């Protein structure tokens, strides 16, 4: 029960890109503070970083509204990708044949954790 008290999760189930391309962006933000991760995603040149940014914002909103976490202490504990459905299309080829085209979808999971920084008090002599 204590694990659920300190972590918050957001899942984006159908993102129209391959998991391999999306994993690059998710590994890029892993371990960073939430606001730093959002800033880095904003300036990323990858198209899919907008969808990852939306998922991180959703996780931050979940932390703030559902668990009353302080936004300044949140960091990205886990960011991972899974496969979702695959659209199958066919392209006409020579001699009446067809070749398949697979259009994969992905699932993003972002887990945020609240890290409370304790200030060390120095003894004054």
Residue 22 lies in a domain: yes
Residue 52's nearest CA partner among 107, 114, 115 is 107
Residue 54 lies in a domain: yes
Beta bridge partners of 83: 106
Q: Domain containing 98 — which CATH number?
A: 3.90.470.10
User: Side by side, which strands form the sheet with 98-114?
Assistant: 7-15, 98-114, 74-92
Residue 101 lies in a domain: yes
Structural domain span for residue 8: 2-114
- The yes-or-no verdict on residue 1 having pLDDT over 60 is no
Residue 122 lies in a domain: no
Residue 121 lies in a domain: no
Residue 12 lies in a domain: yes
Number of H helices, E strands in the chain: 4, 3
Residue 46 lies in a domain: yes
Distances (CA, A) of 43 to 20, 33, 48, 53: 20, 16, 12, 11
Residue 119 lies in a domain: no
How confident is the model over 33-87, as pLDDT tens digits? 999 999 999 999 999 999 999 999 999 998 888 888 888 888 899 999 999 999 9
- The arithmetic mean of pLDDT across residues 13-41, rounded, is 92
* Per-chain mean pLDDT for the chain: 87
Number of domains in the chain: 1
């Amino acid at each position: 029960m204590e694990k659920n008290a300190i972590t918050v999760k957001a899942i984006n189930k159908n993102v129209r890109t391959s998991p391999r391309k999306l994993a690059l962006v998710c590994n890029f933000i892993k371990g960073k503070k939430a606001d730093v991760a959002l800033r880095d995603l904003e300036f990323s040149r990858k198209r899919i970083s907008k969808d990852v940014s939306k998922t991180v914002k959703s996780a931050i909103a979940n932390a703030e509204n559902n668990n009353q976490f302080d936004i300044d202490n949140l960091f990205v504990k886990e960011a991972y990708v899974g496969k979702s459905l695959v659209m199958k299309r066919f392209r006409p080829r020579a001699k009446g044949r067809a070749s398949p085209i697979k259009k994969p979808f992905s699932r993003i999971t972002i887990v945020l954790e609240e890290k409370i920084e304790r200030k060390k008090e120095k003894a004054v002599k």
